Amino acid sequence: MLEMSVNKFRANLKEFVDKVISEHQAIRVNRRSGQDFIVVSAEDWEREQETLYILRNNSLMSHVAESMGTHQTKPDSNHVTP
């Protein structure tokens, strides 16, 4: 994550916003008041929200864990052994 002052961010706003979007890299902007903020692309924010939703959903996480267990113990029918 990049980190910079609010003055540097403001002076190069377009460049940094383009970087956040194209490189999917968040920027932490430091303010003198100590109330920093993070700049992320809308695409990355939405992806994070979806991940958090899944992680908070106990029922869904149980299904994922069960599926992983089945996947790891089930022989691969497409795998041909010599």
**Helix (H/G/I), strand (E/B), else coil: 18:** helix
For residue 78, pLDDT over 90 is answered with no
| 72 or 80, higher pLDDT | 72
Longest dimension (CA), the chain: 67
Question: How far is 16 from 9, CA to CA, in rounded Å?
Answer: 7
Find out whether 10 and 29 touch, Cβ atoms under 8 Å. no
Kindly state the helix (H) or strand (E) to which residue 28 belongs, with its residue range. Answer: strand 27-30
Residue 41: pLDDT band with limits 50, 70, 90: very high
Count of alpha carbons within 13 Å of 35, Cβ hemisphere only? Answer: 1
What is the C-alpha radius of gyration for the chain, rounded to an integer number of angstroms? Answer: 21
Q: Give residue 76's pLDDT.
A: 59
